[in-house]
Amino acid sequence: MRREGTNPNDVQMSDVLCDFCRAEWTLERLFIEGHHGSCICGDCLSAAYRHVSIESKSDAQPGYKCTMCLEERLDPAYRSPTHPEAFVCRRCVKLAATALEKDPEAGWERPGGRRQREAPDES
């Protein structure tokens, strides 16, 4: 998401916020962007991954709208504890986790390790 009042022709790192915790994007804080400027930081992605892929929990009723892909989804989702309008579906969690893991400079690792058994994806 973008900070209110952001100049669309001059977006700064500090204008980019995590949809799930509202933290600013910094060189130290990893971010993944979804559709139409939606973002999730590495910390929120770790929490979401633990929730939907390791603990097999969901905070959403079927038909919720994922903040990252903007689709109505049936699969499990993580809901922000501080911004309850923000959901991320398991598919987006897995895609974001894979993308961050492939970046050697990021140094991000999925919770539980890469070999952690995941719940099946119901895309």
The pTM of the full predicted model, rounded to 2 decimals, is 0.85
* 70 domain residue, yes or no: yes
12-58 pLDDT, tens digit each: 888 999 999 999 999 889 999 998 889 999 999 999 999 999 999 99
Report the DSSP beta bridge partners of residue 64: 73
Q: What percent of the chain shows pLDDT beyond 70?
A: 91
* 53 domain residue, yes or no: yes
Domain that holds residue 76: 13-102
Count other C-beta atoms under 10 Å from residue 78's C-beta.
Answer: 29
Could you give the number of structural domains in the chain?
A: 1
* Contact of 77 with 57, CB cutoff 8 Å: no
Q: Pick left, alpha or beta for residue 22 (phi over 0 → left; psi -120 to 50 → alpha; otherwise beta).
A: left
50-93 pLDDT, tens digit each: 999 999 999 999 889 999 999 999 999 999 999 999 999 999 99
Please give the Cα distance from 87 to 108 (Å, whole number): 21
* 6 domain residue, yes or no: no
* 109 domain residue, yes or no: no
